[in-house]
A and B are shown apart, each in its own frame.
Chain A
Amino acid sequence: GDSVTQMEGPVTLSEEAFLTINCTYTATGYPSLFWYVQYPGEGLQLLLKATKADDKGSNKGFEATYRKETTSFHLEKGSVQVSDSAVYFCALRVTLGGGNKLTFGTGTQLKVEL
Chain B
Amino acid sequence: EAQVTQNPRYLITVTGKKLTVTCSQNMNHEYMSWYRQDPGLGLRQIYYSMNVEVTDKGDVPEGYKVSRKEKRNFPLILESPSPNQTSLYFCASSMLQDRGPDNEQFFGPGTRLTVL
Within 8 A of B (CB), among A2-31: 4
Q: Is residue A61 contacting chain B, with contact meaning CB distance below 8 A?
A: no
Interface contact tally, CB-CB below 8 A: 58
- 1/0 contact string of A65-103 vs chain B (CB within 8 Å): 000000000000000000000000100010100111110
A112 to B94, CA, bound (A): 32
Q: Classify the secondary structure of A's interface with B.
A: loop
B68 to nearest A CB, angstroms? 14
Complexed CA–CA distance, A101 and B109 (Å): 19
A100 and B105 in contact, given A89-B43, A106-B41 (Cβ under 8 angstroms): yes
- The number of chain A residues touching the other chain, given as a range, is 20 to 34
Contact flag A100-B90 (CB < 8 Å), given A43-B110, A105-B42: no
Chain B contacts for A36, CB-based, 8 A = 107
Complex-state Cα separation, A103 to B94, whole angstroms: 15
* Contacts A43-B4, A104-B44, A106-B42 known; 10 new A-B pairs at CB < 8 A: A42-B109, A42-B110, A44-B90, A45-B107, A89-B43, A95-B97, A99-B97, A100-B94, A102-B92, A105-B42
Q: What residues of chain B have their CB less than 8 Å away from a CB belonging to chain A?
A: 4, 31, 33, 35, 40-45, 48, 50, 58, 90, 92, 94-98, 101, 103-105, 107-110
